[in-house]
Amino acid sequence: MHAFDRFTDALDYPMYVVTAEADGERAGCLVGFGSQCSMRPPRFMVWLSELNRTCQIAARTDRLAVHLLRRDQTALARLFGGETGDRTDKFARVAWHPGPGGVPVLDEAPAWFAGRVEQRIGGGDHIGHLLVPEEVHHPADGGFPFLSVNAAIDIPPGHPVD
Output the pLDDT for position 145. 87
148's CB contacts (< 8 A; 6+ apart) are 12, 13, 14, 15, 71
Cβ pair 99, 66 in contact under 8 A? no
Beta strands in the chain (DSSP E): 16-22, 25-31, 34-38, 43-49, 63-68, 96-98, 104-106, 111-123, 126-137
pTM: 0.92
pLDDT in tens, 15-62: 999 999 999 999 999 999 999 999 999 999 999 999 999 999 999 999
Residue 62: predicted pLDDT: 98
d(CA 125, CA 87) in angstroms, rounded, equals: 22
Residues in the chain: 162
* Position 63 pLDDT exceeds 70: yes
Instruction: Pick 142 or 106 by higher pLDDT.
Output: 106
- Radius of gyration from C-alpha coordinates of the chain: 15
Average pLDDT of the chain is: 92
Residue 96: strand, helix, or coil: strand
Q: How do residues 116-132 score in pLDDT, each as one tens digit?
A: 999 999 999 999 999 99
- Give 141-158 pLDDT, tens digit per residue: 777 888 888 888 778 777
Asked if 118 and 42 touch (Cβ cutoff 8 Å), the reply is: no
Please write the tens of the pLDDT for every residue from 91-104. Answer: 999 999 999 999 99
Q: Provide CB contacts within 8 A for 133, sequence distance 6+.
A: 42, 44, 113, 114, 115
